[in-house]
Copies of this chain bind each other. A is one copy, B any other.
Amino acid sequence: MSTDASEIYRRYIGAMVLHGLHAARSCGLGGTDLYALNLLDLNGPMTPGELSAQTGLTTGPTTRLIDRLEEAGFVRRTPSPDDRRKVIVELLAEPAPLAEALAPAREKLGDIFAGYSEEERRTLFDYFARATEALRP
């Protein structure tokens, strides 16, 4: 990994984070809200207790965090079938405001992918899958 590649890669991570934060802002989301949404996206539905553990928040703020996300239409609360104390927080399939905010960037990225061969795309997506696992906090 040359110095040049490392430089490109560092800046690329910065661009991705910036992109995510920018999209979050345009939806009126704070950093913690975005953090929670990504946790739900990556790790699947979970209880408020688990979300609280993964965000590092105590239970009070976690309840209000979920309130905000639910009110904004990003997640849904459903009662747990096997333990009536518990609640399951579930990411909705298409959070409309976020999809809208991300649409222009997605289109640009789609164009970029279209320029690669089938084999090159395979390499890219193989890397994405590995990196996603490696970067999980």
Listed in ascending order, the chain A residues whose CB lies under 8 Å from chain B are 1, 5, 8-22, 24-25, 30-32, 34-35, 37-39, 41-42, 56, 105, 108-110, 112-114, 116, 120-121, 123-125, 127-132, 134-137
* Known pairs A109-B134, A131-B12; A20 contacts B19 (CB<8 A): no
Smallest Cβ-Cβ distance to A29: which chain B residue: B31
CB distance from A10 to the nearest CB of B (A): 8
Most buried by B among A18, A56, A120: A18
Residue numbers in B under 8 Å from A131 (CB-CB): 12, 15-16, 109, 112
Residue numbers in B under 8 Å from A108 (CB-CB): 134-135
Most buried by B among A10, A42, A130: A130
* Known pairs A124-B123, A125-B9, A128-B9; A16 contacts B113 (CB<8 A): no
Residue numbers in B under 8 Å from A109 (CB-CB): 9, 131, 134-135
